[in-house]
Amino acid sequence: MRISFNFPRAIGLILLLLGAASLLAAIVYSSSVPALIGLGLVFWGIIVSYIQSDEYVKKTILNSTSMTLLTALDETLRTLDCKGKAIYLPPKYLNDPESTKVYVPKLETSTLPSPETTQQLEMQPTQKSPQGILITPAGAELARLLETELGTSLLRINLEDLLRRLPKTLIEDLEIVNDCEIQLFAKKRTEKSEENDQTNQSEIFVKFTTTVYRDTCKRAARLPTIFSNIGCPLSSALAIAFSKATGNPIMIKTQQISEDGETNGTEYTIIEEPVA
Amino acid sequence: MTPAFPLGPWDVSLVLAVTAIILLTTSEILSPYYGPANLKISKKRLKNAAMATSILFLTTVAIRIATMIYGIS
Confidence class for position A195, pLDDT limits 50, 70, 90: very low
Whether pLDDT at A124 is above 80:
no
Could you give the percent of chain A with pLDDT greater than 70?
89
Quick one: which H or E segment has residue A70? helix A59-79
Q: Are A245 and A239 in contact (CB under 8 A)?
A: no
Quick one: which H or E segment has residue B23? helix B9-29
Task: Name the minimum distance, in Å, from the CA of B61 to any CA of chain A.
Answer: 18
Question: Cβ A30–B41 below 8 Å, yes or no?
Answer: no
Q: Which of B41, B51, B57 to mutate to test the interface with A (most CBs of A within 10 A)?
A: B41
Sheet (strand A132-135) strand order: A132-135, A102-105, A87-88, A250-257, A263-270, A202-209, A179-185
* DSSP assignment letter at A112: P
Q: Which of A102, A100, A136, A142 is nearest to A235 (CA)?
A: A142
Quote the ipTM score: 0.70
- pLDDT tens string A159-193: 889 999 999 899 888 888 888 899 888 776 555 44
pTM: 0.76
* C-alpha to C-alpha distance for B61 and A119, rounded to whole angstroms: 62
Average pLDDT taken over every residue of chain A: 83
Confidence class for position A138, pLDDT limits 50, 70, 90: confident
Q: Which residues of B touch A213 (CB under 8 A)?
A: none
* C-alpha to C-alpha distance for A238 and A226, rounded to whole angstroms: 15
| Gyration radius of chain A's alpha carbons | 25
pLDDT at B4: 76
By the 10 Å C-beta count (0-12 exposed, 13-18 middle, 19+ buried), B63 is classed as middle
Residue B25, chain A, CB below 8 Å: the answer is: no
Q: Which of A104, A98, A69, A56 is nearest to A232 (CA)?
A: A69
- pLDDT tens string A73-117: 888 888 888 888 889 999 888 888 888 889 888 887 777 888 888
Q: Which of B22, B42, B47, B56 to mutate to test the interface with A (most CBs of A within 10 A)?
A: B42
Question: Cβ A175–B36 below 8 Å, yes or no?
Answer: yes
Whether pLDDT at A198 is above 60:
no
Whether pLDDT at A149 is above 50:
yes
Q: Are B20 and A33 in contact (CB under 8 A)?
A: no
* C-alpha to C-alpha distance for A148 and A163, rounded to whole angstroms: 16
Q: Quick check: helix, strand or coil at residue A256?
A: strand
Q: Which residues of A touch B23 (CB under 8 A)?
A: 47
> Looking at chain A, which runs of residues are DSSP E strands?
87-88, 102-105, 132-135, 179-185, 202-209, 250-257, 263-270
User: Which residue in A has a C-alpha nearest to residue B34's C-alpha?
Assistant: A178
Question: Cβ B7–A28 below 8 Å, yes or no?
Answer: no
* C-alpha to C-alpha distance for B17 and B56, rounded to whole angstroms: 9
User: Which residue in A has a C-alpha nearest to residue B45's C-alpha?
Assistant: A51
pLDDT at A172: 84
Whether pLDDT at A55 is above 60:
yes
Residue B7, chain A, CB below 8 Å: the answer is: yes
Handedness of CA A189, A192, A197, A203 (dihedral sign): negative
